Structure 1
Amino acid sequence: MASFQKYKTKQGTLWLFKTYVGIDPKTGKRKPTTRRGFKTKKEAQEAARILEDEVKSGIYHRNNLTFKQVFDEWWSSHKNTIKLSTQNAKLSKFNRHILPWFGNVKMVDITKQYCQKFVDELSKKINSVTDIKIQANLVFKYALKHDYITRNPMHYVEIPKKDEEEIIEEGEVRNFWTKEELDKFLSLGLKHMTTQNYVYFYMLAYTGMRKGELIALEWKDVSFESNTIRINKTMFFKDGKEIIQTTKKYASRRTIAIDSDTLKLLKKWKIKQKENFLSDGVTENIINVFTREDLRPLRLAMPNDILKSFIKKHKLRKITVHGLRHTHASILFEAGATIKEVQERLGHKEIETTMNVYTHVSKFVAKKTANTFSDYMKKI
């Protein structure tokens, strides 16, 4: 039951009440609250009655939950439905972008306008706004399902469209090599890289595999009889430990054909790899196609370090390791492969992902074609 009390202010005598609003789960003790500013005792009594009714029905508890509290509740169950690598990626997005904005705000106080401002501000800093919105929306959906809110404010948010100039600027920055640039890289790699490093980057360019898929590749996944590679797992690292898991999406589990030259290169590498270990007295069975000296799979950061250093040393066009996957796709498109064929080879779940790569490549090819015409006209 609430207790009531008069108190004096410069504006005159007012009323307050004190009551309890549930049990603190940490201490096990009742949580007190005080409400002030009532002109009469009757007003204070009515406010106390409404508050106590809200506490009994659970409305008060729901109305005071912050986004962070709801997130913690949602995450405790949601994390058990996803892979460890996905957990790490999602937590990073929440900690970097979502929780700093929403964390301490009460769920019932988050408006459509506040959510729209979040997306608008974020779109100025990063490109992957849609994914961040999707992740935040999972918490709002959970809150709606459990009656913590009456409607989802994130549902009405729109992703800002970038203007024409921004799109053109992004299109000019390509994260892939042309056929000529790839040939130059591989020629230099053959001369200046270790055999293992050369074969690894060659495979990235000629298969379009993700770097984690290639690091996790085992010899049993390579069929020298049918000229195919079975891709069904990937590699990621956590706390210094290598973790191999099945590929995260059904579309990523695939079998791809490889050409005869790539097959010959793999055969030669398998023999040389075994000879290298035998010369060091290692007679154990070699499981992975690419390994460290202790037979463990390569570090996930290794390809990034080597490629970045090699590009800088030989003054090549800068691309990332993932850019070799885009290089594979761009050359496939140039050779006449369909979008569906490229989608299946790269293991994209959604064809929109493949379309994004195609659009990016097409913009560069269009510009290249215009330059070819211009250059030819100058020679006349």
Structure 2
Amino acid sequence: MQPKKYLTSNGIRYKVQFYNAEGKRSTKRGFKTKTEARTWYRHYQNELEYHGFAAKDKMQCQEIIDRWLNIKRQTTKGSTYRQYFNNCKNHISPYFGQIKLAEVTIDDCQQFVDLVAGKLQRFDKIVGSAKAIFKLAVKLKLRHDNPFEYVDKPRVKHTGAPKSFTTDQFQQFKTALADLQANDYKAFAMLALLAMTGARKGEAMALTWTNVDFSNGTIDIEHGVTRDYDNHLTIGTPKNDYSIRTVPIGPAMIVVLKKWRSIQRHQFKINNVQFGEYGELVFANDKGGLLGPNQANKWLRKLENKYGLPTYVTPHGLRHTFTTLILANDVVSPNEAAKLLGHRDATITMSVYNDLHEVTDHHAANFLENM
């Protein structure tokens, strides 16, 4: 680009406009001559073309963090990107952001790993993101090596706490649900649907009445509530292709949903509420839009506290409970369970089940001893 002159209190100066590594237009000012401006511009373009960045010797880590996040924004779903963004904002940038990229040592990285491992149970994803960021730096020839390749990572800590209700606790949960329907039918209907179908919370939040087939006793799970790149709630594609499925519901659940549809439409008619952009949501908020992501958690926690149920079971824990009970009681085969849950195959389903419960049955040991 041709340098342009402008007048300052110190006389004539030159400026040059250019596009930075992120494709944004910017301006560099303060050159005393056109030759100085052109020389800077050529140097900048050479660095940008070869490395993707300029002035790599002075570059701070935040620049490569931003580049990595920009790539993730283009290649992942909004909800996944937000996880990467939050990990960088809350952990990686505060530690590495202002350090020069070329000066980061193995010891710096080891101290970072020890720090997050001491504070967080699931620190492995944060460390994985940091490692990927420095891998990008190596790929762009901004560093000779990735210091995260040489750190010692502690083992992921597992609390061992169960994530699902036992059979007796589930019976108690069903009793509590029956009492709830008189006070909050929407809460009752949603928690019942999660427990009786194994659906993910986001899948239930995205259901519309057109997804419910009362005649055949099924619900079509085709979408899920997620967050977009700007952290706003939206309805998008489900977790994966296998999540698109048709799930059967029993006669009692059909009655529950029919009654809830009648109650909801009556309430909306009285209050002159129109459904929002996503259509007739089964579990809409009071304004016809998406239900808050923590609402089901609040309903379940309140129920657990009132009836003395373990509070470590979340709405996703109802999905684990569903998995546990149908497999432990041989209701369906592992492959059939995988289809109901939207898993790729039974391997994933069985890994969830095995993580939840130890094998305490003596059948195998007794069989071998008595052969």
Matched, 1:291 2:284: yes
- Alignment match, 1:182: 170
Task: State whether structure 2 residue 358 is matched by structure 1 residue 358.
Answer: no
1:29 CA displacement: 4.5
Of 260, 281, 294, which aligns to 1:269? 260
> By how many angstroms is 1:351 displaced?
6.9
User: How far does the alpha carbon of each residue in 1:220-277 deviate from its partner, in whole angstroms, 9 at most, with x for none?
Assistant: 1122344332222222468896421222432333332333332333233333433444
Checking the alignment, whether the CA contact within 8 Å between 1:129 and 1:159 is kept in structure 2 is no
Could you say which residue in structure 1 is the equivalent of 2:249? Answer: 258
Alignment of 1:42-121 (within 5 A): 58=47, 61-121=55-115
Q: Go from structure 1 to structure 2 and tell me whether the alpha carbon gap of 1:146 and 1:237 turns closer, same or farther (over 3 Å shift).
A: closer
1:140-289 to 2 correspondences below 5 Å = 140-157=134-151, 159-161=153-155, 167=158, 170-171=159-160, 173-192=161-180, 193-236=183-226, 242-278=233-269, 280=271, 287-289=280-282
Q: CA deviation at 1:177?
A: 0.9
SS in 1 for 2:357: helix
Contact 1:212/1:235 (CA < 8 Å) preserved in 2? yes
Determine if contact 2:273/2:287 at 8 Å carries over to the other structure.
no
Shift of residue 93, structure 1, vs aligned partner: 1.1
* Offset from partner CA, 1:257-300 (integer Å, 9 cap, x none): 33333233323333343344445566879711112333223222
For residues 268 and 116 of structure 1, the distance between their equivalents in structure 2, rounded to whole angstroms, comes to 58
Q: 2: CA distance between counterparts of 1:354 and 1:160?
A: 27
Measure the CA separation in 2 of the matches of 1:199 and 1:215: 12
* Counterparts in 2 of 1:303 and 1:143: CA distance versus 1, 3 Å: same
Change (3 A) 1:191 1:143: same
| Shift in CA distance, 295/126, structure 1 to aligned 2, threshold 3 Å | same
- Are the counterparts in 2 of residues 199 and 269 from structure 1 also a CA contact under 8 Å? yes
Q: Which has the larger radius of gyration?
A: 1
Equivalent position to 1:300, from 293, 311, 333 = 293
- 2:14 corresponds to which residue? none
Tell me the CA shift for residue 339 of structure 1: 4.6
Q: Which amino acid aligns with 1:361?
A: L
The answer to whether the Cα contact below 8 Å between 2:243 and 2:343 also exists between their aligned partners in 1 is yes
CA RMSD of aligned residues (A): 3.5
Q: Secondary structure at the match of 2:109?
A: helix
After the TM superposition, which of the residue ranges 181-190 and 329-338 deviates more from structure 2?
A: 329-338
Structure 2 CA distance for aligned equivalents of residues 301 and 244 of structure 1 = 16
Over 3 Å counting, the alpha-carbon distance change for 1:155 and 1:209 in structure 2 is farther
Structure 2 stretches of 5 or more lacking a match?
1-17, 21-25, 32-42, 363-371
Name the amino acid aligned to 2:235.
I
Counterpart position of 2:318: 324
Which whole-Å CA distance do the structure 2 matches of 1:358 and 1:71 have between them?
Answer: 37
| Greater alpha carbon shift after TM alignment, 100-109 vs 142-151 | 100-109
After TM superposition, give the deviation of residue 55 of structure 1 in Å: 9.5
CA distance in 2 between counterparts of 1:118 and 1:284 reads 48
1:332 shift after superposition: 2.4
| Counterpart secondary structure, 1:28 | strand
The structural deviation recorded for 1:120 is 3.5
In 2: Cα distance, 1:68 partner to 1:349 partner: 37
Which of 308-317 and 339-348 deviates more? 339-348
In the alignment, is the contact (CA less than 8 A) between 1:237 and 1:300 conserved in 2? no
Contact 1:141 1:152 in 2 (8 A): yes
AA aligned to 2:244 is: R
SS in 2 for 1:256: strand
- Range that drifts further, 284-293 or 210-219: 284-293
1:347 maps to: 342
Q: Amino acid of the residue matched to residue 64 of structure 2?
A: V
Alpha-carbon distance in 1 for matches of 2:285, 2:155: 46
1:135 aligns with 2:124: no
**C-alpha spacing 1:147/1:300, structure 2 compared with 1 (3 Å):** same
- Where 1:229 maps in the other structure, the secondary structure is strand
> Which one-letter code corresponds to 1:358 in the other structure?
Y
Contact persistence 1:236–1:300 (CA under 8 A): no
Q: Which residue of 1 aligns with 2:15?
A: none
